[in-house]
Amino acid sequence: MINILKASRVLIMALFGITIFVGVANAQLNEVDQLWGEVSRTVGEGDFEGYAATYHVDAVLVNGLTQSSYPILAALEGWKSGFDDTKSGKQESGVEFRFTQRFADETTAHDTGIFHYWFQIDGSDRVDSYIHFDALLVKKDGWKMMMEYQKSQATIEDWNSAM
């Protein structure tokens, strides 16, 4: 009987610890969601400076589509004209996210999912891209991406099955 009581206490303490951990993780993911909201806002408005601020200065882009990796600053240089065109009204753009796996603690987070990026230039056909991605984030002066890994193309079916 004593062993059952001890086992029950250990189980209760473990469940209590898991509950606290899950609560902390959920609170952190709510904060991380604000970062993803900011990414969506900046892309849609063509706010290049705001978008660049969502990355840590030492962030890396890993591009599985081209099998390369490079500093985010180099990637941002290549993306700037699209932001400028969006800001000036020559182009409409947007991005949204769905996640398939998420981990977080007070200062780090890792998200896996799909992003849907689209743009349309001066009334031409809209271009939609669905990309499987991972993002590694750190909390330093707010949440910042340290690494973005654009793994591979996704399909609309993949997108629809992600939460």
Crossing angle of helices 2-45 and 72-88, rounded to 10°: 50
Give φ, ψ of 90 to 5 degrees. -70, -25
Cα–Cα dist 4/128, whole Å: 58
> Tell me, what CATH number does 119's domain have?
3.10.450.50
Can you give the pTM of this predicted structure? 0.82
Question: Any idea what DSSP says for residue 92?
Answer: E
Contacts of 40 (CB under 8 A, 6+ apart): 94, 95, 96, 97
Give strand ranges (E) for 24-124: 55-63, 68-71, 91-104, 108-121
CB count, 10 Å around CB of 124?
9
Domain count, the chain: 1
Q: Which tokens hold the place of 50?
A: 């705001």
Q: What is the pLDDT along the chain (163 residues), one digit of tens a residue?
A: 555 555 445 434 343 443 334 444 577 888 999 999 999 999 999 999 999 999 999 999 999 999 999 999 999 999 999 999 999 999 999 999 999 999 999 999 999 999 999 999 988 999 999 999 999 999 998 999 999 999 999 999 999 999 7
CB count, 10 Å around CB of 66?
9
Owning domain of residue 14: 2-161
